[in-house]
Amino acid sequence: MNTESYDLAVIGGGLAGMVAGTRAAERGLRVAVFEKGTDPRYPCNTRWSGGIIHVGYVDPKEPPAALRAGIERNTRGYTDPVLGEMMVAETARAIDWLRAQGGRFIRAGAVSWQNWMMAPPRPLVAGMDWQGRGPDVMLRLLGDRLRALGGTMVLGGKAQRLLMRDGRCVGVAVERGGVTTDYAAGAVVLADGGFQGNIDLLRAHIGMSAPEQVKQRGASTGQGDGLRMAMDVGAAITPLDAFYGHLLSRDSMVSDRVWPYPELDGIACAGIVVNEAGQRIVNEGMGGIHMANMLARSAAPLAATLVFDSAIWDGPGRSARIPVNPELVRAGGTVHRAPSIEALAKLAGLDPAGLSATVAAYNAACSAGSFDGLTPPRGTDRYKPMPILAAPFLAIPACAGITYTMGGIGVDGDARVRSADGGVIAGLYAAGATTGGIEGGPFIGYVGGLSKAAVLGFRSAEHAAGYVREHAV
């Protein structure tokens, strides 16, 4: 069997993996990054992302107290305190390091959490547009820098299993072109993303009864290989039952013109989400990420419709960076309009009597300022509900879109993989969406995919550099 060796083997060429590999090479390690994609512009979630680095919707350059408050506000205490402090301490430093590699950032909008967007930005229109945009450019810059530092980028390399000796990770077996090679390594970083593209794992862990009816909003390349390999060697695993995603037009199941943008979250949070019987089915006040999870776990993920009025359409409908109004219409997405709720129900394929009763009860709750009597409950502390009163009334058939899974491999504050028995697995690190402990929990809290990738990639490289030198033969 062929054997090659490196100081550090990195599995996955997204932001987490490229930061880990490039930073480690910068620290003098002989690095190989193994990416299963074969094209130089291999698909990955980083390339398809919006490119904004934030910490719980807070500018990473804000004082530590503000960052802690953002994490707490979004995860409601779920985030591992050690990992939370890591995000607070390191996100700004990671941004500065990315800038030092040649990455450019711009201020994307009027709200402060959009102050750090990778440039150049994508146009503010519906659909997919990633080539030559900030995240794509950033990955190519890191790849060039890795090679300039003597690192190796191996395309078409699919990790199969970790190599262990005396409880330490000492390499990885990688299949490429039908041939499996054992790569000895002083340390290994797992950075191959979540398991959002694995239908079987979505059923088993997220609780989706029909995962094929949930739109893959990302590159869908995350198959959970790193998670599987880590489990095989006794890694600690955090709860796997949540994902980051958004509500999308149901047309996204058949048309690439209406995803990954616009997201429908703002409209859903202001109005109501109903089933074919015209009954509310989610707590709209919990936000779009929570609603996407609830819808994805339901028995009928493609039976949801957003119902709202002209005031919502002209208000929250225009509030996002890539607004539903007018971008969904321009892209050919379905938006029903009618002069009455009953007529709207008929257009949207909903039960008229059921929808009329639901809207009446909801409007009464808005008027009274009390939502305790609604089923399901309707929270008001995060998003303000708006009555559905102003004709014409509107409806958008919706679906859940999944971008990446939030749970995964348990890590410590240096991105070392924790073992199920309470220690760490020497020589094994994990970064990005393959990890858990920062996001998820009962409220499906979101902190930031790109920030998590950059920080854990950075931390894993810096600790691995010391570890490899200490254990060099």
Cα-atom radius of gyration of the chain, to the nearest Å? 23
Q: Are residues 295 and 318 in the same domain?
A: yes
Q: Which parts of the chain have pLDDT scores under 50?
A: 1
Residues 57 and 77 in one domain: yes
CATH number at 200 reads: 3.50.50.60
Residue 227 and residue 330 share a domain: no
Q: Rounded CA gap, 218 and 69, in Å?
A: 28
Let me know whether 34 and 163 are in one domain.
yes
Q: What is the reported pTM?
A: 0.96
Amino acid letter for position 387 = P
The bridge status of strand 179-190 relative to strand 3-11 is parallel
Same domain for 267 and 219? no
My answer on whether 235 and 255 are in the same domain is: no
Condensed to tens digits (0 to 9), the pLDDT of residues 240-258 reads 999 999 999 999 999 999 9
- Choose the final residue of a domain: 402, 433, 454: 402
Question: Final residue of a domain: which of 368, 402, 436?
Answer: 402
- Answer for the pair 254, 215: CB distance below 8 angstroms, yes or no: no
CA distance 134 to 123: 11
**HEC string of the chain?**
CCEEEEEEEEECCCHHHHHHHHHHHHCCCCEEEEECCCCCCCCCHHHHCCCECCCCCCCCCCCHHHHHHHHHHHHCCCCCHHHHHHHHHHHHHHHHHHHHCCCCEECCCCCHHHCCEECCCCCCCCCCCCCCCHHHHHHHHHHHHHHHCCCEEEECCEEEEEEEECCEEEEEEEEECCEEEEEEEEEEEECCCCCCCCHHHHHHHHCCCCHHHCEECCCCCCCCHHHHHHHHCCECECCCCCEEEEEEEHHHHCCHHHCCCCCCHHHHHHCEEECCCCCECCCHHHCHHHHHHHHHHCCCCCCEEEEEEHHHHHCHHHCCCCCHHHHHHHCCCCCEEECCHHHHHHHHCCCHHHHHHHHHHHHHHHHHCCCCCCCCCCCCCCCCCCCCCCCCEEEEEEEEEEEEECCCEEECCCCEEEECCCCEEEEEEECHHHEECCCECCCCECCCHHHHHHHHHHHHHHHHHHHHHHCCC
Domain count, the chain: 2
Q: Are residues 398 and 412 in the same domain?
A: no
Determine whether 373 is exposed, middle or buried from the number of CB atoms within 10 Å of its CB (0-12, 13-18, 19+).
exposed
Q: Burial level of 39, CB count in 10 A (0-12/13-18/19+)?
A: exposed
Q: Are 18 and 160 members of one domain?
A: yes
The structure tokens listed for 403 are 């971008």
- Check which CATH number belongs to the domain holding 386 and give it: 3.90.700.10
| Residue 358, domain extent | 246-402
Cα–Cα–Cα angle for 272, 273, 276, nearest 5°? 125
Statement to judge: residues 415 and 394 lie in one domain: no
Q: Which of 402, 423, 444 is the last residue of a domain?
A: 402
In angstroms, rounded to a whole number, what is the distance separating the alpha carbons of residues 32 and 40?
A: 15
Preceding amide of 376 cis, omega within 30? yes
On whether both 18 and 43 belong to a single domain, the answer is yes
Residue 400: other Cβ atoms inside 10 A: 28
Q: Are residues 125 and 19 in the same domain?
A: yes
- Could you read off the pLDDT of 304-344 as tens digits, one per residue? 999 999 999 999 999 999 999 999 999 999 999 999 999 99
- Tally of CA atoms within 13 A in the half-sphere of 203 that contains its CB: 8
Whether 338 and 260 map to the same domain: the answer is yes
